Amino acid sequence: MRVFVTGASGFVGQAVVRELLAHGHQVLGLARNDASAAALTDAGAEVHRGDLADIDSLVAGATAADGVIHLAFIHDFSQYQSNIDTDRAAVDAMLEALAGSDKPFVGTSGTLGLAPGRIAAETDSAANRSGAKTRGDTESAIVGATGVRGSVVRLAPSVHDAGDHGFVPRMVDAARQHGYAAYVGDGANRWSAVARRDAATLYRLGLEQGAAGSVFHGVGEEGVALRDIATAIGEGLGLPVRSLTPAEAPGFFGFLATFAALDSPASSQRTRDALGWQPNGPGLIKDIRAHYLG
């Protein structure tokens, strides 16, 4: 299968490209600059130049392929609503271009905040409940698309491996800056997690096997306590570990303060049953000790 991959040179995208190529697929990877294009060429993928705002390029890439894996997103939280609009416009254009083709289109969302305080399942709706636009609205458009085999992978808040630049590295940076690692309250709140290579396998299986309207959870560990994450960081850096009050948290975590206090475990049992996906990569704490503290 020839697969158009947006976000192909990103942290997760690189692993997805390797996974697809290793299993006999061809990859047409979206690249917005020369460095991304060179990385894709080196990996053995074909390069398609463009970005999320270049609708014509996205449509051309999607229609030239047998399926799409959409990973790209502008991760700038200072313009989050605008970035959601950009993503939604890109998704709508590609889905419209593929309408009636029954080609697979695998989009991306997340499990963080899906069902605070309990274990979220694939059957939980990501529909907007606050009035603000969310990636859940785009998720609904993908799984509700007609004439396209649309499905969504909801990634855990920590997709971990060497080279990660997400939430956990920001916690490590904050610990170095402040001279201690930290969690909020008793630190019993949980994040789900998944090893990057397991996430990449899931995207491939979703592309190959996923039924239209499916939601899959990229979750290897249902919930890792934030206290355990902070303890691993503190031990690895030789720093003390502190509990912070909710009022103190923004001074340490910055924009991550709300997420750092969120209890957001998630299950992937239905995903495993549907696709035969068996995540077997290292756990988050092991990866923190191996790759995050050097």
Please tell me the distance from the alpha carbon of residue 56 to that of residue 22, in angstroms, as a whole number.
29
At 128, the pLDDT band (50, 70, 90 cuts) reads: low
* Contact criterion met (CB below 8 Å) for 200 and 23: no
Rounded-to-integer distance, Cα 276 and Cα 65, Å: 25
C-alpha pair distances (Å), 17 with each of 7, 102, 110, 221, 249:
10, 22, 20, 23, 37
Q: Are residues 170 and 35 in the same domain?
A: no
Q: Which residue type does 189 have?
A: N
Long-range residue pairs from 52-58, CB within 8 A, at least 24 positions apart, any chain: 52/6, 52/86, 52/87, 52/90, 53/86, 53/90, 55/89, 55/90, 55/93, 57/30, 58/6, 58/30, 58/90, 58/93, 58/94
At 294, the pLDDT band (50, 70, 90 cuts) reads confident
**CATH code: domain of residue 125:** 3.40.50.720
Q: Is residue 28 part of a domain?
A: yes
pLDDT, residue 135, reads 76
Categorize the per-residue pLDDT at 82 as very low, low, confident or very high, splitting at 50, 70 and 90.
Answer: confident
Query: Could you tell me if 167 and 31 lie in one domain?
Result: no
Q: Look at residue 74 in the predicted model and tell me its pLDDT.
A: 81
pLDDT one-digit tens code per residue, 19-39? 999 999 999 999 999 999 999
**Paired sense of beta strands 221-225 and 190-195, if any:** antiparallel
Q: What is the number of domains present in the chain?
A: 2
Structural domain that includes position 247: 160-190+223-260
Shared-domain flag, residues 137 and 206: yes
User: Which residues 6+ apart lie within 8 Å of 140 measured at CB?
Assistant: 126, 127
| Same domain membership, residue 174 and residue 151 | no
Q: Write down the pTM of the prediction.
A: 0.96
Q: Share the mean pLDDT of the chain.
A: 95
* Res 91: pLDDT: 97
